[in-house]
Amino acid sequence: MIQVDRLTKSYGPVTAVHDVSFNVEKGQIVGFLGPNGAGKSTTMKILACFMAASGGSARVAGFDVFSQSLEVRRRIGYLPENSPLYADLPVAAYLDFVAEAKGVSRGARRSKVADVMDRCFITDMQHRLIGKLSKGYRQRVGLAQALLGDPEVLILDEPTIGLDPRQIAEIRALIKSLGGQHTVILSTHILPEVSMVCDGIIIINRGRVVAKGTQAELVEQVFPAARVEVEVAGPGEAIASSLKTLPGVTSVDAIGVEAAGARDGASRFVVESPRGRDVRGELVRLVAGRGWELLELHQVGLSLEEVFIRVVAGEEHAPQILETVVEEAQ
């Protein structure tokens, strides 16, 4: 439904998007991830036909975004970053304008507008001026205008920004319900949102696609080995060497006791095994059999956060990046 091929966009000397290629299948919901300034919004603006690319091509619903812009624009719903709206219009009047601009026939207009207001929970606010609405309501009016005209493809730039937790849950449920009939591409900073809503993930950094696939595929790409972090009370060296003898274990690394905050007399290890080979059961039996105490055991490298940090920043910057990611998510 969306085919992006070697898309490039430069603003003067600055290249915002460099050689970006990806495909989105019909009915899929794809999350577009990346740090601020990675080129997410630029890519979305090009897909929405707001501006032309400097190189490469993009097709939406089979039409070229540049040469067949009008055909593309008949089939998309676009929510730009920060949901820009006319502050001096009442909600219902604004949506009526959008419906007419999108070519919804006069007879169907009223019911279509009522329908999107209902789906975005803004019916109560329909006579209010948009400028008087809170950020959360404005965001939902923005989403409502994108849904008008029943577009095949929805391009949503940070649809849940500025919403409170309950509204986020409602909007996520709404977006999730759009999958199947509509193809959705959305950008967000909230990584759990992507896990919850999206079928596919595209991570972009500094204008380049650095990873794409489903969440499971990304985890596998980025962390080819399954890792288990374990903390055991007992003699460090003996534990390490016996862990290495476990079937399936490919490597055992001791991590600094102080750094990891382990208890006195305990040691921490990262145990790696091939993906798909779960060594946890055997590990527990081994430790218990030797009479050592198992204090902690957990899998690492499975969350989207870890994947994101790894592909975007490389490991050395991981802690700082994680903090900013967490801050933005909040």
Partner 1 sequence: MRGWLPVFKKEMRLYFGSPVAYAVATFFLFIAAFFFAPSFIQYADVSMRSAMQPQMGQSLNATENILRPLTYNMAVVLLFFIPMLTMRLFAEEKRSGTMELLLTYPLRDGEVLAGKFLAALALYAGILALTLSYPITVAWFTRIEWGAVLTGYLGLLLVGAAFLSIGLFVSSTTENQIVAGFGTFGGLLTLWLLGWFADSAQGALRTVIQQAAIIEHMESFAKGVLDTKDLVYYLSVTAFALFLTLRSLESKRWRG
Nearer to partner 1, 49 or 197 (CB): 49
Binding span for partner 1 by CB under 8 A among 42-50, 132-140, 198-206, 257-265: 42-50
Binding residue for partner 1, selected from 42, 188, 205, 215, defined by CB under 8 A: 42
Rule CB under 8 A: is residue 107 a binding residue for partner 1? no
Nearer to partner 1, 86 or 300 (CB): 86
Is 152 within 8 Å of 73 (Cβ atoms)? no
> Across the chain, where does the E strand assignment appear?
2-11, 14-24, 29-33, 55-60, 63-64, 76-79, 153-157, 183-187, 200-205, 208-213, 225-233, 251-255, 266-274, 293-300
Nearer to partner 1, 66 or 121 (CB): 66
Binding span for partner 1 by CB under 8 A among 26-34, 43-51, 167-175, 261-269: 43-51
Burial 178-216 (b: 16+ CB within 10 A, else e): bbeebbbbbbbbbbebbeebbbbbbbbbebebbbbeebe
Rule CB under 8 A: is residue 15 a binding residue for partner 1? no
Binding residue for partner 1, selected from 82, 123, 126, 242, defined by CB under 8 A: 82
Rule CB under 8 A: is residue 212 a binding residue for partner 1? no
Binding span for partner 1 by CB under 8 A among 24-32, 47-55, 230-238, 260-268: 47-55
Rule CB under 8 A: is residue 14 a binding residue for partner 1? no
User: Which own/partner contact pairs does 103-106 have at CB distance under 8 Å and 24+ positions apart?
Assistant: 103/74, 103/149, 104/148, 104/149
Residue corresponding to tokens 């039996």: 285
Query: Which residues in 251-290 contact partner 1 (CB under 8 A)?
Result: none
Which of 93, 83, 244 shows the shortest CA–CA distance to 171? 83
Rule CB under 8 A: is residue 140 a binding residue for partner 1? no
Q: What is the DSSP string of 227-260?
A: EEEEEEES-HHHHHHHHHTSTT--EEEEE-HHHH
Chain length of the chain = 330
What is the C-alpha separation between 140 and 115, in angstroms, rounded?
13
**In the bound complex, what is the minimum distance in angstroms from residue 4's beta carbon to partner 1?**
17
H or E segment to which residue 304 belongs: helix 304-313
Is 22 within 8 Å of 1 (Cβ atoms)? no
Rule CB under 8 A: is residue 98 a binding residue for partner 1? yes
Is 136 within 8 Å of 167 (Cβ atoms)? yes
Rule CB under 8 A: is residue 8 a binding residue for partner 1? no
Rule CB under 8 A: is residue 223 a binding residue for partner 1? no
Binding span for partner 1 by CB under 8 A among 18-26, 100-108, 161-169, 224-232: 100-108
Binding span for partner 1 by CB under 8 A among 76-84, 204-212, 220-228, 314-322: 76-84
What is the C-alpha separation between 176 and 179, in angstroms, rounded?
6
Nearer to partner 1, 150 or 282 (CB): 150
Rule CB under 8 A: is residue 108 a binding residue for partner 1? no
Binding residue for partner 1, selected from 25, 87, 118, 293, defined by CB under 8 A: 87
Binding span for partner 1 by CB under 8 A among 40-48, 191-199, 249-257, 292-300: 40-48
| Number of residues engaging partner 1 in binding (CB under 8 A) | 30
What is the C-alpha separation between 270 and 162, in angstroms, rounded?
39
Which residues of the shown chain bind partner 1 in the complex (CB under 8 A)?
9, 11, 42, 45, 48-52, 70, 73-74, 76, 78, 80, 82, 84-89, 93, 97-98, 100-103, 145
